[in-house]
Amino acid sequence: MIIEIGHFSTIVALVLSVFGMASAALALKTRNPDWARSGRMAITLIFVLLGVGMLSLVYAFIIRDFSVLYVANNSNSKLPFFYTVAAVWGGHEGSLLLWVFILSVFSTLAVWLHWRTQPTIMPYLIAVESAIIFGFLCLIVFLSSPFERLLPVPLDGKDLNPLLQDPAMVMHPPMLYMGYVGFSIPFSFAMAALFSGRLGEEWIKVTQRWSMFAWMCLTTGILLGGYWAYYELGWGGYWGWDPVENASFMPWLVGTAYLHSVLVQEKRKMFKVWNLFLIIVTFSLSLIGTFLVRSGVLTSVHSFATDPERGLYILIFVGTVIGIAFGALILRSNKLKSQVEMDSLVSRESIFLFNNLFFLVAAATVFLGTLYPLILETLQDAKVTVGPPYYNAVFMPIALGLLFLMGIGPYIPWRKASVASLKKSFSTPLLAGAVIVVLLFVTGIHNLYALAGGYVVTFAGMAIVLDFGKISQLYAQRNGSNIFQGGLAAFTANQRRYASMLTHIGVLVLVVGIIASTVYQTEKVVSMRVGDEFAIGDYRMKLAKIHEVAGGNWNAQEGVFQVFKGEDLITELRPQKRIYSATQTPTTESAIYATKMGHVFLTMPEVSEDGVAVARGVLNPLVLWVWGGGVIMGLGVILNILRPRKKEE
Amino acid sequence: MSKGWQLTLILCLLGLFALFYQGLWGDPRHIPTVLIETDAPNFEGPDVETGQTISLEQFKGKVVLLNFWASWCYECKVEHESILQLHQLFKDNPEFVMLGVNYQDELPDAQKYLKEYGSTFSHVRDLKGQLAIDYGVYGVPETFVIDQQGKIRHKWVGPITGEVYTNITQKVIAPLLKAQPTTTTTS
């Protein structure tokens, strides 16, 4: 019964989304604000109704109602409680419902938050948001309903995909979706600007915090996914350039470009068409990502159901949204000429331009790599995959270039910079970079990427530290306080700037983590019997025994490895090869020993009948910096979003 | 403002959607097996370790096992020991040849890999990925068995370990060679 209530609410929400579009159109036609108000009410009600839909599905999972097809497909009587709730978004239908539910939450927030300050824009916003909600709800109600009943009722469910039974997986999809969907708000405002012809800087200022929030969620989602891949897939790495990973990375890249280029429009009224283009591309890539993941067009470790009918629907929907968006941009482009021309190539504007160029080239690179197999298959009927070497080769120089720009950008003046001022700002950081390179080289680090990375990270980091130090000192002198109080005063006085710099520092930490853990990863794969040992780095691993262990819904062979450093037994690692009972799917559970500087990572991917185990040990130096950097980045964005509003904003 | 970018944008979008539309009707899990029982495409390429040219033609009349691998591939490391063991099993048979194909890799990485994990047979470099395309390789590791007549008789996607190892040694290679493998232990 409960599930029918959820089903019914979702259908009513679909009807209301049509009403939302209609009332927005009437509001624009009649200029009667009552219509806009009903539109706002419709959006709010959609949120409530979809909330009911979500809750009914959660309830069905909690009571393990296997008469619901979606529950039967994604749950099992032995599935731990924690994961029964996460299983709501463990499959195609439920994750689409989550998508549109988050969309309704954000839409509701947007219409209420900006109602008073943006009265003329509101009908457009309501129209665009209702239209996107409508598109997704059609898909859910007509093609992918999570509320369908199953007859006869099975005794037990098929179980949640074992790879998804992991804490990081509980948060990874919602975070990603919040990122994807979050960009729909700036997108809607941009569309509203295009439709209404109010093409000034206002839509950018209004949506700045939204964009940052969406970006932060997307970043967190991607990093959580990486963490999951790291210990659950047993890669020992966190990024494999898998098509589905790429699908989330592309909107991130363009979204990051967008976050930077809007600053130019804010300060210099340039890049008008460009910013609209970027936000349309960002949101389009979010939608295309959904299409790629959900239609089964590409081969990937993310095994989702493939169904051409649904895929075709998503394609038509995504095509319509993108078509209308770019169509509007093209039709309006004559109105969007910037009045301001670039003054000099040595200016902050041009650094931003290069920043954008780099990000877009990066996104295009990933895009081509992801679609190349599809192109080849279409043209030649051949199956290929594009491996990590392609991405690494193209990506490394771009990333280094971006980091270098990151060091320069914030400290170069707008319009035109003089050589003298450049010398003053950058001579110390440039020198510091060189010193680090020499130090690294002397300590035995000869890898080109590590050295180049060390240089740009030091350069960019030094620029931030010097600038902040100087300003802090000024504040300390002025207030007669010590340097820490001065720093705090400097930070609060320029919260927007220094919160952004904190995010940049997070990026630097992340980059150090990535370089150290990829370039200096040590790996060993050995086959061994009980009693054998192998050495990796300073560590010795001795396989003490292999025994059977059982969890609620799985059985595993667990290897007990004693880890020695020198002669000392420092810890015991217990990697498992698990078999989940309901699906008979094997997974490898890694075991990790955290050292001060990194991880000792151990998996046991194979155990043969006669007791020979394949063990894989990996030393990942500084790998925690990857996620530590992510935390710092997030903190920077939060401080940026929470900064006090200034009058001109 | 020039109309150039607008037209480019429209054409790109149309192309993209045509591609996606076309892609919908393929099954991503379906891997073409049309190659089975057909002539193995010939190839030529440098040896990873020595640089000398290796071609398939020079092994005509023998049973050839082709194993596609790359240094960045995790599953390849998992199967490596059993691949070496497989070679050990049949290497004394003059009718048997084993070749590695190094796919989408950097030469130094590939050489380092072989040094580290051991190599008892030759590996040819697939310089432009053409070989992989000819054989329809869609990921690594992938293994092909070619018979004395030069026809592809078996293809396996994924690592050769456990049961797969037993199957490929006993049911595929041994009958082709009409030889009994002496041991069948796996790792």
Per-residue model confidence as pLDDT tens digits over B47-70: 998 989 999 888 988 999 999 998
Residue A373: closest CA among B40, B139, B18? B139
Q: Cβ B139–A385 below 8 Å, yes or no?
A: yes
Q: Cβ B186–A612 below 8 Å, yes or no?
A: yes
Does B181 score more than 60 pLDDT? no
User: What angle in degrees, to the nearest 10, is found between the helix axes of A483-493 and A495-519?
Assistant: 110
Q: Cβ B139–A371 below 8 Å, yes or no?
A: no
**pLDDT-based confidence at A40, cuts 50/70/90?**
very high
> In the predicted model, what is the mean pLDDT of residues A430-459?
91
Q: Cβ A323–B13 below 8 Å, yes or no?
A: yes
| Lowest-pLDDT choice from A99-108, A137-146, A552-561, A606-615 | A606-615
> In the predicted model, what is the mean pLDDT of residues A236-240?
79
**pLDDT-based confidence at A396, cuts 50/70/90?**
confident
3-class DSSP state of A598: strand
Collect all residues of chain B within an 8 Å Cβ-Cβ radius of residue A299: 28-29, 138-139
Collect all residues of chain B within an 8 Å Cβ-Cβ radius of residue A306: 27-29
Q: Cβ A523–B129 below 8 Å, yes or no?
A: no
Amino acid, single-letter form, for residue A465: V
Q: Cβ B139–A388 below 8 Å, yes or no?
A: no
Strand locations in A584-634 (E): 585-589, 591-594, 598-607, 613-621
> In the predicted model, what is the mean pLDDT of residues A85-89?
88
Give the pLDDT of residue B29: 45
- Phi, psi angle pair for B173, to nearest 5°: -75, -50
3-class DSSP state of B128: coil
The verdict on A610 touching B (C-beta cutoff 8 Å) is: yes
Contacts of the segment A21-30: beta carbons below 8 A, 24+ positions apart: A21/A126, A21/A127, A21/A130, A21/A131, A21/A134, A23/A126, A24/A123, A24/A124, A24/A126, A24/A127, A24/A130, A25/A123, A25/A127, A27/A122, A27/A123, A27/A126, A28/A123, A28/A124, A28/A127
The verdict on A444 touching B (C-beta cutoff 8 Å) is: no
Query: Considering only alpha carbons, which residue of chain A is nearest residue B23?
Result: A297
> In the predicted model, what is the mean pLDDT of residues A86-102?
89
A41 and A111 Cβ atoms separated by less than 8 Å? no
Q: Cβ A295–B24 below 8 Å, yes or no?
A: yes
d(CA A582, CA A162): 10
Closest partner residue to A235 (CB to CB) among B74, B136, B139 is: B74
Collect all residues of chain A within an 8 Å Cβ-Cβ radius of residue B27: 296, 306
User: Greatest CA separation found in chain A?
Assistant: 84
> In the predicted model, what is the mean pLDDT of residues A478-484?
86
Q: Cβ A378–B19 below 8 Å, yes or no?
A: yes
The strand pair at A576-580 and A591-594 is best described as unpaired
Q: Cβ B80–A525 below 8 Å, yes or no?
A: yes
> In the predicted model, what is the mean pLDDT of residues A637-645?
89
Give the pLDDT of residue A301: 46
Collect all residues of chain B within an 8 Å Cβ-Cβ radius of residue A387: 70, 72-73, 103-104, 140
3-class DSSP state of A571: strand
Q: Which secondary structure element, helix H or strand E, spans residue A534, and what is its range?
A: strand A533-536
Does A23 score more than 90 pLDDT? yes
Count the Cβ atoms, other than its own, within 10 Å of residue B32.
13
Strand locations in B8-162 (E): 44-46, 53-55, 63-69, 96-103, 122-126, 142-146, 152-157
Does B3 score more than 80 pLDDT? no
Q: Which residues pair with A571 in a beta bridge?
A: A563
Give the pLDDT of residue B183: 47
Q: Cβ B70–A377 below 8 Å, yes or no?
A: no
- The DSSP secondary structure of A42-110, one letter per residue, reads HHHHHHHHHHHHHHHHHHHHHTT-TTBHHHHHH--TTS-HHHHHHGGGSSHHHHHHHHHHHHHHHHHHH
> In the predicted model, what is the mean pLDDT of residues A475-488?
88
Q: Which secondary structure element, helix H or strand E, spans residue A425, and what is its range?
A: helix A419-442
Question: In terms of pLDDT, which residue wins out, B99 or A233?
Answer: B99
Does A649 score more than 50 pLDDT? no
- The DSSP secondary structure of A176-191, one letter per residue, reads HHHHHHHTHHHHHHHH
A27 and A1 Cβ atoms separated by less than 8 Å? no
**pLDDT-based confidence at A582, cuts 50/70/90?**
confident
d(CA A598, CA A620): 6
A178-216 pLDDT tens trace: 999 999 999 999 999 999 888 888 899 899 999 999 999
The strand pair at B122-126 and B96-103 is best described as parallel
Does A244 score more than 70 pLDDT? yes
The verdict on A584 touching B (C-beta cutoff 8 Å) is: no
Closest partner residue to A384 (CB to CB) among B105, B106, B133 is: B133
Closest partner residue to A298 (CB to CB) among B28, B70, B104 is: B28
Count the Cβ atoms, other than its own, within 10 Å of residue A270.
19
Q: Cβ B28–A235 below 8 Å, yes or no?
A: no
Does A393 score more than 90 pLDDT? no
d(CA A561, CA A545): 7
Cβ-proximal residues to A92 (8 Å cutoff; 6+ apart), any chain: A144, A294, A304, A305, A310
Cβ-proximal residues to B92 (8 Å cutoff; 6+ apart), any chain: none
> How many angstroms separate the CA of residue A320 from the nearest CA in chain B?
11
d(CA B165, CA A220): 41
Cis peptide bond upstream of A397, omega within 30? no
Give the pLDDT of residue A24: 95
Tokens of A176: 């990603």
**pLDDT-based confidence at A243, cuts 50/70/90?**
confident
> In the predicted model, what is the mean pLDDT of residues A350-363?
91
Give the pLDDT of residue A306: 55
Q: Cβ A298–B105 below 8 Å, yes or no?
A: no
Cβ-proximal residues to A225 (8 Å cutoff; 6+ apart), any chain: A168, A172, A176, A245, A248
A543-564 pLDDT tens trace: 999 999 988 888 888 999 999 9
Does A332 score more than 80 pLDDT? yes
Give the pLDDT of residue B64: 93
Q: Which residues pair with B46 in a beta bridge?
A: B53
Averaged pLDDT of chain A: 87
| Lowest-pLDDT choice from A19-23, A24-28, A270-274 | A270-274
Q: Cβ A371–B9 below 8 Å, yes or no?
A: no
Collect all residues of chain A within an 8 Å Cβ-Cβ radius of residue B161: 606, 608, 614
Tokens of A106: 């954000």
Give the best residue of A143, A230, A329, A614 to mutate against chain B (max B CB count within 10 A).
A614
Residue A447: closest CA among A504, A343, A521, A558? A521
Polymer length in residues for chain A: 649
Q: Which secondary structure element, helix H or strand E, spans residue A138, and what is its range?
A: helix A122-138
**pLDDT-based confidence at A257, cuts 50/70/90?**
very high
- How many pairs of residues across A and B have Cβ atoms under 8 Å apart? 118
Does A72 score more than 80 pLDDT? yes
**pLDDT-based confidence at A437, cuts 50/70/90?**
very high
> How many angstroms separate the CA of residue B146 from the nearest CA in chain A?
20
Give the pLDDT of residue A241: 84
User: What angle in degrees, to the nearest 10, is found between the helix axes of A33-62 and A2-30?
Assistant: 160
Collect all residues of chain B within an 8 Å Cβ-Cβ radius of residue A323: 13
Residue B41: closest CA among B168, B152, B127, B143? B152
Torsional class of A197: left (φ above 0), alpha (ψ -120 to 50), beta (otherwise): left
**pLDDT-based confidence at B187, cuts 50/70/90?**
very low
A485-541 pLDDT tens trace: 889 998 988 898 999 999 999 999 999 999 888 888 888 888 888 999 999 988 999
Give the best residue of B10, B71, B78 to mutate against chain A (max A CB count within 10 A).
B78
Residue A107: closest CA among A136, A83, A130, A134? A130
Q: Cβ B13–A376 below 8 Å, yes or no?
A: no
Does A300 score more than 80 pLDDT? no
User: Greatest CA separation found in chain B?
Assistant: 77
Residue B162: closest CA among A150, A586, A399, A265? A586
Collect all residues of chain A within an 8 Å Cβ-Cβ radius of residue B104: 386-387, 389-390
Give the pLDDT of residue A507: 95
> In the predicted model, what is the mean pLDDT of residues A254-273?
89
Question: In terms of pLDDT, which residue wins out, A199 or A10?
Answer: A10
Q: Cβ A312–B21 below 8 Å, yes or no?
A: yes
| Lowest-pLDDT choice from A202-211, A302-311, B133-142 | A302-311
Q: What torsion, rounded to 10 degrees, do the Cα atoms A99, A638, A433, A624 define?
A: -60
Give the pLDDT of residue B30: 47
The whole-model pTM stands at 0.83
Q: What secondary structure letter does DSSP report for A643?
A: S
Distances (CA, A) of A487 to A227, A475, A481, A492: 34, 7, 10, 9
Give the pLDDT of residue A303: 43
**pLDDT-based confidence at A295, cuts 50/70/90?**
low
- Phi, psi angle pair for A269, to nearest 5°: 55, 30
ipTM of the complex: 0.71
> In the predicted model, what is the mean pLDDT of residues A210-229?
93
Q: Cβ A334–B117 below 8 Å, yes or no?
A: no
> In the predicted model, what is the mean pLDDT of residues A270-284?
91
3-class DSSP state of A211: helix
> In the predicted model, what is the mean pLDDT of residues A470-482?
88
Listed ranges A386-390, A409-413, A414-418, B44-48; the one with the highest mean pLDDT: B44-48
Give the distance from CA B184 to its chain's centroid.
23
B45 and B131 Cβ atoms separated by less than 8 Å? yes
3-class DSSP state of A561: strand
Give the distance from CA A445 to its chain's centroid.
32
Distances (CA, A) of A436 to A218, A467, A522, A623: 33, 19, 23, 21
Contacts of the segment A58-67: beta carbons below 8 A, 24+ positions apart: A58/A85, A58/A88, A59/A2, A59/A3, A60/A2, A60/A3, A60/A6, A61/A85, A61/A87, A61/A88, A64/A157, A65/A3, A66/A150, A66/A153, A66/A154, A66/A155, A66/A156, A66/A157, A67/A149, A67/A150, A67/A151, A67/A153
A528 and A608 Cβ atoms separated by less than 8 Å? no
Query: Considering only alpha carbons, which residue of chain B is nearest residue A607?
Result: B187
Question: In terms of pLDDT, which residue wins out, B53 or A337?
Answer: B53
Residue A100: closest CA among A122, A70, A74, A132? A132
Polymer length in residues for chain B: 187
Residue A507: closest CA among A632, A410, A597? A632
The verdict on A377 touching B (C-beta cutoff 8 Å) is: yes
